[in-house]
């Protein structure tokens, strides 16, 4: 690896501008927005996946127990 050429460095004015764009207080809002609202549709989707998964796990454990 080689160091970055100094001609690509940001000027002090560019650094000030970029720092002004940062919103430190909005980190919590970003996490909430990324997760989305956990409404009834999400609960129904988890049930649609979770119930068959648990049934399959139960059957697999029953068959594994028969081996011991």
- The predicted pLDDT at position 35 comes to 67
pLDDT in tens, the chain (68 residues): 899 999 999 999 999 998 888 866 555 566 666 666 678 888 899 999 999 999 999 999 999 999 98
Per-residue confidence (pLDDT) for residue 30, from 0 to 100: 64
What element of type H or E holds 68?
A: none
Main-chain dihedrals φ then ψ at residue 37, nearest 5 degrees: -85, 130
Alpha-carbon span 46 to 56, nearest angstrom: 15
Residue 47, pLDDT score: 95
Q: Which residues contact 10 (CB under 8 A, 6 or more apart)?
A: 18
Position 32 scores a pLDDT of 64
Domain ranges of the chain: 6-67
């Amino acid at each position: 690896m080689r160091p970055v050429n100094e001609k690509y460095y940001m000027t002090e004015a560019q650094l000030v501008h970029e720092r002004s764009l940062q919103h430190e207080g909005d980190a919590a809002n970003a996490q909430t927005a990324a997760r989305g609202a956990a409404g009834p549709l999400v609960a129904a989707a988890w049930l649609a996946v979770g119930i068959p998964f648990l049934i399959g796990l139960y059957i697999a454990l029953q068959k594994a127990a028969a081996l011991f």
